Amino acid sequence: MNLDRVNQIINGYGADRAVSLAVLQDIQREYNYLPREALELAAGRLDMPLGEIYRMATFFTAFSLQPKGEYVCKVCLGTACHVRGGARILEAVERELDIKAGQTTSDGKFSLEAVRCVGACALGPIVMVNEEPHAYMTPDKASKLIVQLAAGKVERVEAPPAPRSARAPIDLSSVPPAG
């Protein structure tokens, strides 16, 4: 494993234990997880026991000791998303990917995380895929999103849904035929 970047990161801050959190964050960003070799190197250079670095790596939720998938899907379970049905979105994605929150699919394509508030409550329920927000989710739309990501193409549907009672009546002819 090439650890040059770890050395560069530490050089950028100066080798001092006070910057350990920032160093770990940059390593996480660089490698998408905290590789053991990188932690060993950081412990040596910051003059900290490896156990102490490990303690930080497992205390803060931003860190992962396992490689994350190509698509990291974060389903928001903040309070605003929760009252708008965030838990049902998570269940739908869990069903579609056949993994639980906190796991990565066996092909390494998807990681699923349940997160607490991404601070975009107006768009809720919201699913973040990597850094990109997908707004106004329903369980059905969330399943579709996963299918589209797996196929490599994502259509954006952004318009907020009209409240149920405010919906105009729709005549049956606009509904696709059954079967």
User: What is the binding site for other proteins (CB under 8 A)?
Assistant: 16-22, 24-25, 55-56, 59-63, 77-80, 82-85, 88, 91-92, 95, 116-124, 131-133, 135, 138-140, 143, 158, 160, 163-167, 170, 172, 175-179
Query: Minimum CB separation from other proteins for residue 70, in Å?
Result: 19
Query: Minimum CB separation from other proteins for residue 172, in Å?
Result: 6
Quote the CA–CA distance of 54 and 36 in Å, as a whole number: 9
Closer CB to other proteins, 56 or 150, in the complex: 56
* CB neighbour list of residue 15: distance below 8 Å, 6 or more residues apart: 45, 46, 47
Quote the CA–CA distance of 127 and 87 in Å, as a whole number: 11
Among 63, 109, 93, smallest CA distance to 101 is for: 93
Tell me if 135 sits within 8 A of 115, measured CB to CB.
no
Closer CB to other proteins, 45 or 88, in the complex: 88
Query: Minimum CB separation from other proteins for residue 16, in Å?
Result: 8
